[in-house]
Structure 1
């Protein structure tokens, strides 16, 4: 106690520092601004007088510089639970489900018990390293669904099934977005997730089909219920969800235009009709003659299905609805396309490759890149040109062969 008496007397408003007799711990407190705009007394703790004084001085400097002290102390788990409640109404269902999965499966188990205010870049760095090295089978007991003789992690034979690089990046993005919201509400002074770098995965650009392959695919689809869908995919380059979410009201047959404004998505075990992927995805594009003709024929067949379904029909105004008017299950579309692909003898071809085909064929015909970008509704022209560069191998070969080399 003699040491404490020799300490210089602090000026009025500088805060007080004392040592607790119960456990010998040093405590300091001062009046500072809080995130609610009020001035309140806030304590700091340390193992020595100098430790507490440094913390108290930092607290007062932050307050003087307009960095308030949070009114409430959250754990990481408590904050992300509150943040998800906000995200449910602000984000698309698929986005929210992705956020909720990563918070529940990764962030809460790894960081949930830590105080939000004390979360550091070192904590996040260690957490992300753990995510990369975590075996998903061990964490979620995937192998318990298998027969006993095929189990691995649950019987001590770890299969080392790690998250993909894309999954690791997504977990980091969710953590960063949640902490950014906490920073905006002045619950933390900085977003420590921004201080941690995560490798960005390299995405493969799919191949487009040749004109001959596209014809083979469409010939194989003729007579099938979803033939018109494949024609629209091959002539307009729409995405899966945009094809299934296309409503009749957005087709103007007289003006020969189609407006892309909504999509069908699966989230939390249900199908949703939602807005288009991005603002760049929303656009009005021309409708080719062949596509108009096929769509008119398709509408006649759909009217017959509506009549046959009678009161069972659910009118969602969808061009490519199910036989009772509800959104078509994407997995059913995938199974139908596999049959078409097999009939055309085009193994490995994906439905999404038709989208890339439209891009490459338009550019090969000399269509200006910015026009192709508008038709494909890419956010950046780099995406448009990367697809063309990936698929135009013949043009590159001709260019290289045209170089006149001297005898080597």
Structure 2
């Protein structure tokens, strides 16, 4: 009789692991707790035909764990892993960026792929997922008409509003899944990123609509009667994004040096107004302050001083340039509503506040400003963005360029 078997398994110290022989088939089994790639501990078994074989395997398992070699958790599902990945992403990404990732995962990825084993996910699964997502009814998915009686809701009795995710939305959802699986590869949970096997057509972006100078003047004339006239002047002359306008502080402006620093933004996320970082490192830049913009801001500061005095103790000192009448951050949607009235009175119902940004870039390019200078003013991280999305060439400019070609016919 085997000596080890006769004496029975030796009792091992706490944390050292355990070894025993199964009575059903005589196979020796050992197990120990080790760290997995998802940051948890898990009991990991090893098998062998003798006590010594299992002990060697168990010692190696524990030795690897002591040296920082983590064990892949093969039982994790796509939904569980994406939830853990989102927790990590939240620590490194802007909250608005994380909110987009979380929304794509919650509304699209997890409902269709969440139950699948992460290491069993295939390219065919991703293709089926993309095909199903394209056919989704956005009205039903977001519950837009859940307040209506069941028989009047979209897709009831076979009726559908026909609103489906756009190609841009499909691309974004696929990108979130692809990023999550790339992270799973780094965690050594999967051997390859199957989402990369599925090609998504690149959507055609609508080129931003630039305004003509007379149109800008109309809008600024109409805005003079509002308390936020300076906001529209800054938008029209510097091309700041809405969140950057609302996050601008007086301490970011140097009137003596005529410069302005973009350091933060104000955005609504999860029902709350949040003051956060700028869109990218390139967005956080120092730009010159034009004379007309400086004058508008100085006049706005005088107006705000009056409002502060009238508010008294209820004034909240956030140092923001554009605030409510009690000093609190402005609601982005409230700014949009005010601008709606301005554009309507100006006879420009289809203009957006963001079109000021497109206008500044296009106007500078049309005046012959070097592209790299325009890129610095617009604070784009990539020159291709400046030239590819915001550069507008009208028919007259094209005709003038072509007329320079002279042929001796």
TM-score (norm 1): 0.80
Shift of 1:252: 0.7
CA distance in 1, matches of 2:385, 2:142: 36
Q: Does 1:348 align with 2:350?
A: yes
What do you get for the CA RMSD once the two structures are aligned? 2.9
1:42/1:91 CA distance change after superposition, 3 Å: farther
1:141/1:345 CA distance change after superposition, 3 Å: closer
Shift of 1:329: 0.8
Are the counterparts in 2 of residues 280 and 379 from structure 1 also a CA contact under 8 Å?
yes
1:30/1:111 CA distance change after superposition, 3 Å: farther
Cα deviations by residue, 1:142-170 (Å, 9 ceiling, x for unpaired): 33334678533134312332111111111
Cα deviations by residue, 1:99-124 (Å, 9 ceiling, x for unpaired): 22222111111111111111111211
Extract unaligned runs of 5+ from structure 2: 1-23, 48-63
Shift of 1:297: 0.9
What SS does structure 2 have at the residue aligned with 1:258?
strand
Match of 1:220 among 214, 219, 222: 222
Match of residue 156 from structure 1: 158
What SS does structure 1 have at the residue aligned with 2:275?
strand
What SS does structure 1 have at the residue aligned with 2:145?
helix
Q: How many residues align?
A: 358
Match of 2:78 among 76, 87, 90: 76
Match of residue 194 from structure 1: 196
Match of 1:372 among 367, 371, 374: 374
CA distance in 1, matches of 2:188, 2:162: 40
CA distance in 2, matches of 1:340, 1:382: 33
1:340/1:138 CA distance change after superposition, 3 Å: closer
Cα deviations by residue, 1:184-233 (Å, 9 ceiling, x for unpaired): 11121222112211122111111212222211111111131110001101
Residues 1-400 of structure 1 mapped to structure 2, 5 A cutoff: 70-71=72-73, 73-146=75-148, 151-386=153-388, 389-400=391-402
Are the counterparts in 1 of residues 318 and 327 from structure 2 also a CA contact under 8 Å?
yes
1:269/1:394 CA distance change after superposition, 3 Å: same
Cα deviations by residue, 1:338-361 (Å, 9 ceiling, x for unpaired): 111122222311111111221122
Are the counterparts in 1 of residues 121 and 194 from structure 2 also a CA contact under 8 Å?
yes
Cα deviations by residue, 1:237-262 (Å, 9 ceiling, x for unpaired): 11111111111111111111001121
What SS does structure 2 have at the residue aligned with 1:143?
coil
CA distance in 2, matches of 1:137, 1:359: 36
CA distance in 1, matches of 2:288, 2:125: 53
Shift of 1:404: 5.5
CA distance in 1, matches of 2:99, 2:337: 25
CA distance in 1, matches of 2:135, 2:90: 30
Shift of 1:395: 0.9
Extract unaligned runs of 5+ from structure 1: 1-20, 23-28, 44-62
Match of residue 51 from structure 2: none
What SS does structure 2 have at the residue aligned with 1:145?
coil
Cα deviations by residue, 1:7-26 (Å, 9 ceiling, x for unpaired): xxxxxxxxxxxxxx99xxxx
What SS does structure 1 have at the residue aligned with 2:90?
helix
